[in-house]
Amino acid sequence: MKRLIMVFTLIVVPTSVFAWPWSQDMMNQPSIKPQEGQMQPFPKRSVPVAGIPTVYTDREQTKGLANPIKVSQASLKKGETLFKIYCAACHGLTGKADSPVSNKIGAIDLTDDYVQKDLTEGWVFGTITFGSAIMPAYGKPGEGGGSNDLSVEERWHVVNYVKHGLAKAARNMASN
């Protein structure tokens, strides 16, 4: 009987326990190892760290583009938030070139006729995407402080705000 118990504790118990140091269960489980199998798609808001998520290469090509995002309260709100984050530092909170650095770097008033009437929405989109003479790019990383900070959709929201909300907001602010 004693012998039977010994056989049981030495042979049967260890094989029924999984966590012995020499157990390889974890390593041998079905899993996807690096470089193996199909790659997962990127999360929806990912943007490439290099490269431009549009097929255009300069403003000449974007100037005729129509804004694919309708002017709505929601779009204007998004555009305004992004404008305050990305544009106000140079063009001023009102867009009237009234930030402390506007004059020093020559950032222009975005509420006057030149931007409001003469420039097309596609051109403003292109300016945000590729930058201008001094202004940095927000859709093209690289020289001159260019970045990919704004997605294509976000840029169009900013265009909506610049063209359809900024001048009105500046007038309201002036009359308050």
Candidates 117, 110, 128, 115; CA nearest to 169 is 110
Angle at 35 between CA 29 and CA 37, to 5 degrees: 65
Nearer to ligand HEC, 64 or 106 (CB): 106
How many residues sit in the footprint of ligand HEC (CB under 6 A)? 23
Binding mask 17-46 for ligand HEC (x = CB under 6 A): ------------------------------
User: 102-138: b or e for each residue (b if 16 or more CB lie within 10 Å)?
Assistant: beeeebbbbbeeebbeebbbbbbbbbbbbbeeebbbb
Shortest approach of ligand HEC to residue 119 CB, angstroms? 6
**124 makes contact with ligand HEC (CB under 6 A):** yes
Footprint of ligand HEC (CB under 6 A):
86-87, 89-91, 105-108, 110, 115, 119, 124, 127-128, 132-136, 138, 158, 162
